């Protein structure tokens, strides 16, 4: 009987060596991706908790601002009343101040609304014609 020598048993074919290397690289890649995904999931949970705390704190801050605004408007009312005007006129001054502020804020919000349509992204996605004198098409024909 002819048994293989120890040198022959330790040598592997090049194909199986490459296959072992590919298997090892894939295993390392899987481990690396798993670690990153685990880290991402933990950070997403932490970010969600932080966002919920931020929303609660913003709501509380808004409530405090509302009470401060009401206090300010009561002070304006009292100042106008102390100036000798009738209470109806004092309420009118407070009403005009509030409506004017609301109109100004709504006007500013309307100005910013155009950015909700992603204008720069839409411009980059528009189909350009080959003739520079032709207007750009927004839909394929």
Size (the chain), residues? 141
Positive or negative torsion for Cα 106, 110, 111, 113:
positive
Taking CA atoms, 27 is separated from 20, 31, 37, 94, 98, in Å, by 10, 6, 15, 71, 65
pLDDT at 118 over 60: yes
pLDDT at 35 over 60: yes
pLDDT at 48 over 60: yes
* Alpha-carbon torsion, ordered 25, 26, 30, 35, to 10 deg: 10
**DSSP string covering 12-71:** --HHHHHHHHHHHHHHHHHHHHHHHHHHHHHHHHHHHHHHHHHHHHHHHHHHHHHHHHHH
What is the rounded average pLDDT for all residues in the chain? 85
**Mean local confidence (pLDDT), 32-51:** 91
Are 138 and 126 in contact by the 8 Å Cβ rule? The answer is: yes
Band (pLDDT 50/70/90 cuts) for residue 140 is: very low
- pTM greater than the 0.75 cutoff: no
**Mean local confidence (pLDDT), 41-66:** 95
Band (pLDDT 50/70/90 cuts) for residue 135 is: low
Angle of helix 14-82 versus helix 87-112 axis, rounded to 10: 160
**Tens digit of pLDDT for each residue in 59-74?**
999 999 999 999 999 9
**Mean local confidence (pLDDT), 3-21:** 68
């Amino acid at each position: 009987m002819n048994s293989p020598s120890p040198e022959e048993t330790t040598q592997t074919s090049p194909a199986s060596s490459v296959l072992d290397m590919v298997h090892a690289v894939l295993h390392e890649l899987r481990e690396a991706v798993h670690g990153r995904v685990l880290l991402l999931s933990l950070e997403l949970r932490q970010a969600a908790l932080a966002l919920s705390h931020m929303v609660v704190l913003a709501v509380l801050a808004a409530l405090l601002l509302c009470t401060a605004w009401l206090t300010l408007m009561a002070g304006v009312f009292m100042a106008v009343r102390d100036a000798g005007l009738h209470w109806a006129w004092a309420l009118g001054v407070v009403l005009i101040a509030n409506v004017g502020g609301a109109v100004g804020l709504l006007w500013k919000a309307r100005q910013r609304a155009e950015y909700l349509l992603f204008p720069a992204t839409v411009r980059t996605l528009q189909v350009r014609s080959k003739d520079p004198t032709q207007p750009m098409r927004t839909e394929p024909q």
